[in-house]
Structure 1
């Protein structure tokens, strides 16, 4: 483990460079900040000495690039989107239905994923049961309960389209 002063010096010296590398790969500020922190945490925990200042710089660059690639390859990163992106595509061609998405987000976890998979991704209850390793009847029951909760949250039958 490195001395605190050594870590602070490295951050002061290389912060801009690492941040720019991360921003190029990650294309957003929040992921860039996460990777930036990971890089310097790894540096703080890495106890081997560097041959030269250039070796340290090259090591930091390599760690930043590898961490960016790891995050971009991760299941979570590939299969999620920000809340802003979700709100933008909630119903792009028909009115403002952001309140519906907000209601879905407020559902309990066990219902939220089912509603998302069924209504937003178009999976059937049988397919969802296979994906989540649940019984088909459990999926049907939870979807019905989720619809009931959404109906209460959104104010009853108003605006209902009759879709199951």
Structure 2
């Protein structure tokens, strides 16, 4: 037995998000848990015994994904953005403002902006690094640019 992925997502997405949030205490990381859990379900080839089996499997995968995120080196070694910003020499106040705006983006957008503009990776290289397809990287870049445009526009309008 395997239910349609869309139906499973609709039924369990809030519960999976709550599991991720309770373990990670970060909504962006919890959203990653949701996405990774349902991606694994969608690509899982074996059948399940029942709806209850699907539910318990999803919860187990979500917990394991959250724990994987929690164990990652970069998460354990995080430094506050203020401490990090104090170590960076900016040429202009606008450079600092742009960097802060990029860092305020959800992590799935800030990472593609950082890799593309600050590290000069191509879209293809970013896709390989993040294990995404190139179309997904392009969408994330586009959405990130739009969010930055809105954020920076608000800041500039406030200054006038």
Structure 2 length as normaliser, TM-score?
Answer: 0.51
Distance (whole Å) between structure 2 residues aligned to residue 88 and residue 27 of structure 1: 21
Distance (whole Å) between structure 2 residues aligned to residue 76 and residue 47 of structure 1: 32
Matches within 5 A, 1:5-44: 6-44=4-42
Residue 82 (structure 2) aligned to one of 82, 87, 105: 87
* CA drift at 1:80: 2.7
Residue 53 (structure 1) aligned to one of 48, 51, 54: 51
Alignment gaps of 5+ in structure 1: 92-98, 110-164
Q: Which moved more, 1:22-31 or 1:60-69?
A: 22-31
Structure 1 length as normaliser, TM-score?
Answer: 0.49
* CA drift at 1:21: 0.6
Partner residue, 2:96: 102
Distance (whole Å) between structure 2 residues aligned to residue 73 and residue 18 of structure 1: 19
Distance (whole Å) between structure 1 residues aligned to residue 5 and residue 51 of structure 2: 13
Kindly name which structure, 1 or 2, has the bigger radius of gyration based on alpha carbons. Answer: 1
Backbone CA RMSD of aligned residues: 3.0
* CA drift at 1:86: 1.2
* CA drift at 1:90: 5.5
